[in-house]
Structure 1
Amino acid sequence: MKTSIYFFIALSFISNKSDASEPFIPISKDFVVAQWATKTTEESFREQLVNLLEQAIYPGNSANYSIASSLLAKASSSDLSEAQKLYFDAVIQQHYHRFEESKLLLLRVLQIDPGHVNATLLLSNIYSVLGDAEMAKKMCVQLLLSTDQTIVATCALNAAAQDGKLTESVKQLSMLLENQVPKDDELSIWITEVYASLVKANGNTLMADQLLSPFLDKTLPLSFWVLWSDIQLELARPTEVMSQVQKVVNASNVKDDALILRLAIAEQEIGAKTSYWRSQAKARVDLREARQDKEHAFDIALYYFHIEQNYEVAHQWALVNWQQAKLLEDKDLLSMTQTKIQTTLVSKTNQGTLHD
């Protein structure tokens, strides 16, 4: 039995950047399941859930998580084992940034099935998100005898990087990829995305761009496009973002918040007279704030930093985000907003001194 390895691995590479678009709210659970089941009448519950979640990681498909949740609620013990139900639920919970809930579900999976590779891999990354570096590394080590060693090494080095060993981890991943290039495209995309994110965090944005560029003609997950967009914006290439990402967003039935925000930032940096994407981003942020939506705290902070240039509010949201997640990007966001507040204050103080 072969499931898409990238589906499960990609779920384990958690980014705290909000990759969820407006949640799909079904009219009723019966309606959702009935609609999905008409397309998959020959498939088991497990196959339906795998198909939904396999596709959920790609742009425009975040509604799949709500549909999968509704389907999961209807599953009986004859449809799914207890470990399967718990695992699928954990995957759904982590998508909505309910990391503690997902962690507890995964621990229950591993009590039932200690050799569950996907649960172990996902749990490692959730421990990193929660700031528990030792447990994150421990989970990777547990995979040594049960899965591809390239996956194990990537898992362990990513965990080490999140724990402060960034430069060392980048060097080791570089050597690993020189000697072991994955033949599987989906696995290669995942490892390259992890590697590029660490290279970017280590200050080599141009190299990160060079790593990702060869994959742009392939079917890519949302997290890849978000990372690629951030790299282009850091390299002062907003027109690249407008060109590539607009095509991705316009081809999607549901427009993802994270990509709308990157387009809005690109639109602003270009100095476009129209504010189509900025208006779209503002509407999303207004809705999130009205709902006190902490799930999107990372991108709300980015919106206030880049679009509104309200650094105090950006920092407040960065703090909210930090309460939830402790990855390198979360630390960088906190530092970026704090530094901008300080430099702005110094600038105002100096201006006041000159006027005096």
Structure 2
Amino acid sequence: MSDFDKYIKQGEPNSKEKAQAWQTAIGLQDVDGLKPSKYLLQTAGRHIEGDITIDEVKHLIDSYYLSKANRKDVENERTEEADKVSARITEILSEKSFSFTPDYLILIHKRLFDGLYKFAGRLRDYDITKKEWVLDGDTVLYSNHELIRQTLEYDFGQEKSVDYPSLGANQALRHICKFVSDIWQIHPFGEGNTRTTAVFTMKYLHTFGFTFNNSVFQEHSWYFRNALVRANYNNYAKGISATTSFLELFFRNLLFGEKNELHNRALHIAAIQSASTNDSKSQNGTLNCTLDEIALLKFLKDNPEATQTEIAVHIGKSPRTVKRITPSLIERGLLERENGKRNGKWVVKNINLNR
């Protein structure tokens, strides 16, 4: 992924955002053992630099694979899938639109795999099992195919009923992890389930007002999938219970800027698990903050001169809500206003919000 590092470290904001999206999109192919072609990396670089649009990227890739000569050059038969899906993920992540519905989840699957899978955008119509390395060859029990639509609608309805503003960060995090792991366990699609879930999850998390570096998905996509497996596996005969604790570590790094070590070997059921895993301590002082407060603090750390109106727009709340949140954060010593109301700036205090 060093192909894009220079844009992320030194590029303009627009180039940096594109590079991060490409890194994430390509990294997510790892969950199915796929690698992109050199042609895809070169074409992505042209897009990041602004030479071509994402539509032109997709057209070039489609044209590339129409040539039989080019097909002989690719490393394996699924390289085409890796290239095309990477471009499509990049496109979706750059879009501002989102709909919290099962239909949008299905639409993402269709857009990612149209022309690659005959069943793109269609719910699974058969039951499945999958041998998992992390389970020593055992499988998660996935949803019965006849109940997929009903189960999706139920889980989305349950998630919509959660009053996130009233929850502390830890409670909110556990709710998010439970929802994401439940959606994944339904396994709505025959193939491409994890990649579709990941893209939907990133789009959903942005609605909370977070601006996070998607590289956590890029660097740890295989861990993300294994954590989903462990969140949905019970084997009481062996003393193993489903746990979202591993998934929580992943999302703590993503959302709170923590630096928890994410090793796949720790997820294997044969590994010795620490009883304290599920009680991981926060490294950033956000234990008593809501998700709205964390989003506000992260925004102000990067934008200390932002107005309350700009804060409200960014976190998707009303100016009245911002005026209610900021005094509370100041009182708790997490935020400070320097040099007055008119010409001052915000200073985030006693909190680590590394991205």
TM-score with structure 2 length normalisation? Answer: 0.31
Question: RCO greater where, 1 or 2, for CA within 8 Å and sep 6 or more?
Answer: 1
- Higher-helix-fraction structure: 1
